Amino acid sequence: MKTKQRRLPRGVREQQLIDAAVSAFSRGDYHTVSVEEIATAAGTSKPTAYHYLGSKEGIFTACVRREMERLIEAIRSAVHAPSPIDDDPLRRGMRAFFAFVVDNRESWTVLYRRAAAQGRPFEAETARMRDRVTAEMADLITACTRDDYGDMDVRDAQLLARVAVSTADAFADWLLDHPDETPDTMAGHVAELTWSHLRTRGPARV
Structural domain contains residue 24:
no
CA atoms within 13 A on the CB side of 106: 13
Q: Judge whether 16 lies within some domain.
A: no
In a domain, 34, yes or no: no
Structural domain count, the chain: 1
| Within a domain: 7 | no
CATH of the domain at 128: 1.10.357.10
Burial class (CB in 10 A: 0-12, 13-18, 19+), 110: buried
Residue 140 lies in a domain: yes
Q: What are the two backbone dihedrals, phi and then psi, of residue 180, each rounded to the nearest 5 degrees? A: -75, -15
In a domain, 68, yes or no: yes
Residue 96: per-residue pLDDT: 92
pLDDT at 15: 93
Q: Is residue 79 part of a domain?
A: yes
d(CA 93, CA 63): 22
Angle at 190 between CA 112 and CA 126, to 5 degrees: 20
Residue 93: what residue type?
G
Q: What is the pLDDT of residue 33?
A: 92
Residue 136 lies in a domain: yes
> What is the reported pTM?
0.82
What domain range includes position 151? 64-199
pLDDT-flagged residues of the chain (< 50) = 1-5, 204-206
| Dihedral angle sign, alpha carbons of residues 199, 201, 203, 204 | negative
End-to-end CA distance of the chain: 82
